[in-house]
Amino acid sequence: MTNQMFCFQCEQTAGCKGCTGKAGVCGKSAAVANAQDDLTRALIGMALNLKGQRPSAEQRRLMLEGMFTTVTNVSFHEENIVALRQQIQALGGEHAACAPSGEPLRLWSQDEDIRSLKSLILFGLRGMAAYAYHAQVLGYTDDEVSDFFFEGLQSVGDVDANMESLLPVVLKVGEVNLKCMALLDKANTETYGTPQPVTLDLRVEKGPFIVVTGHDLKDLELLLEQSKDKGVNIYTHGEMLPAHAYPKLKAYPHLKGNFGTAWQNQQKEFADLPAPILFTTNCLMPPKESYADRVFTTEVVDFPNTLHIGEDKDFSAVIEKALELGGYAEDKEFTGINGGKQISTGFGHGVILSLADKVVDAVKSGQLKHFFLVGGCDGGKVGRNYYTEFVKQTPADSIVLTLACGKYRFNDLDLGTVAGLPRLLDMGQCNDAYGAIQVAVALAGAFGCGVNELPLSFVLSWYEQKAVCILLTLLYLGIKNIRLGPSLPAFVSPNVLNFLVENYGIAPISTPEQDLADLLK
């Protein structure tokens, strides 16, 4: 296997061009990167071999697991990635054009425009696979969504594909992802109830506790059930914060609060943590020696030499580790990035739409003049403080909707209220972009206009592939004039970027002052 790699699927890719050499910015080695490329070859091969046929239930399962495994900051375990690829090959993943080679995908060296469109399809499918996986865990599936992973990869593997044939597939990824996010929204709300607003103090109580990070609500539920009456408290982290808003999960009295901020700060925040950390999904960074013995993973998240919780979902080792470490001796106060001591969440589309009449009246009376959706992934690259400053400078007669982990840049700010409504409304996890879309569509209906005619601006941050599929959904819906940052995707070629600019008005972020002035014209 070569000791060289190529990867440019995340926002932090080296030099905004691509990670090469022996390791990527995310921490994965060339061996892991190439094992992921071989896994992708097997998935494409399975899709090509099934052209014109329906995949079996096992092939669908392996497709989701394989695609999710290749999302940034999910799996760093080469041996297990290879084993998964071998399972896929045994079920139809052998194809002459997709033989494993231990080298980067040939796709990365194709014509830049073809490579760009195929990358949008591939990375969008990877992001969508995460959402479909979470829905499947809760027992919710959709044949159209499941089968489209195969259809999409057939386009990626088509050696005769051109821009004219690939562009419709790019937009179809967005269309199917909308259905996938709707499926996950249904799964979450029917299983755990409609989210309700909740405000949390950023305090960790004395005594044993466990920190749970990621997106998988089912894993959190199982841990809560297994740890009740054990003298162990549970704190969410990162994208797990919105779990506090779901009535069934909130009913557990030992689900106490939220620890820390977004994923990129974990190596600092976990360094002296007297508690175990359970990773249910991305974003996992290579653990530092100072806390590696406290890291537990489950599902597709995997890192060598950490304890992995298997399909039996027996979290007793995590609970025992919490009791062993003991937690803090006294209650410990923490703050958000901006020094705030409280954060709120739970303003999903169910809550906001229940206030639709109030919102419409506030707009018509002139009390509420603009909506901003400021959300997406956070990350470690310099320049992401743009989003903090942007939100701080939004007018007092505006509302800021937010979602995903990018909100930690500003979710501890007190923006006050407008027309009796909080000015900062956290709608949930990244997949709750579906809810934001429902709110936008409902407002457009109430005012008898299109979404692009609303006083609504999208200011998005991106890092990994789930952000890609959400962006493609917005493009499928015809949403225009999106601001995207902190940098544009390295895999988008100049010609494809020009197409997006000319047809959708996508623009990179500039400065908060300039972008606010432009968006409020």
Residue 466 contacts by C-beta under 8 Å, 6 or more apart in sequence? 71, 127, 128, 130, 131, 377, 430, 431
Please count the other Cβ atoms lying within 10 Å of the Cβ belonging to residue 122: 27
pLDDT of residue 2: 61
Query: Tokens at residue 273, please?
Result: 């943590």
Q: What does DSSP assign to residue 93? A: I
pLDDT of residue 100: 66
Q: Do strands 424-426 and 421-422 pair parallel, antiparallel, or not at all (unpaired)?
A: unpaired
pLDDT of residue 94: 79
Positive/negative CA dihedral, 33, 38, 43, 47: positive
Q: How far, in Å, CA of 90 to CA of 64, rounded? A: 16
pLDDT of residue 107: 87
What does the pLDDT profile of the chain (521 residues) look like in tens digits?
Answer: 567 999 999 999 999 999 999 999 999 999 999 999 999 999 999 999 999 999 999 999 999 999 999 999 999 999 999 999 999 999 987 787 676 677 788 888 889 999 999 999 999 999 999 999 999 999 999 999 999 999 999 999 999 999 999 999 999 999 999 999 999 999 999 999 999 999 999 999 999 999 999 999 999 999 999 999 999 999 999 999 999 999 999 999 999 999 999 999 999 999 999 999 999 999 999 999 999 999 999 999 999 999 999 999 999 999 999 999 999 999 999 999 999 999 999 999 999 999 999 999 999 999 999 999 999 999 998 899 999 999 999 999 999 999 999 999 999 999 999 999 999 999 999 999 999 999 999 999 999 999 999 999 999 999 999 999 999 999 999 999 999 999 999 999 999 999 999 999 999 999 999 999 999 99
Q: Which burial class, exposed, middle or buried, applies to 329 when counting CB atoms under 10 A from its CB (0-12, 13-18, 19+)?
A: exposed
Q: How far, in Å, CA of 39 to CA of 33, rounded? A: 10
* Nearest of 116, 127, 126, 117 to residue 18 by alpha carbon: 116
Q: Could you tell me if 433 and 473 are in contact, meaning their C-beta atoms sit under 8 angstroms apart?
A: yes
Q: What is the pTM of this model?
A: 0.97
Q: What does DSSP assign to residue 327? A: -
Could you tell me which residues are beta bridge partners of residue 234?
210, 255
Query: Tokens at residue 148, please?
Result: 């489209």
Find where tokens 């479909």 sit. Answer: 132
Q: How far, in Å, CA of 44 to CA of 99, rounded? A: 10
Query: Tokens at residue 172, please?
Result: 């179809």
Q: How far lies 260's CA from each of 146, 227, 297, 367, 375, in Å?
A: 35, 21, 18, 35, 18
Query: Tokens at residue 511, please?
Result: 């400065």
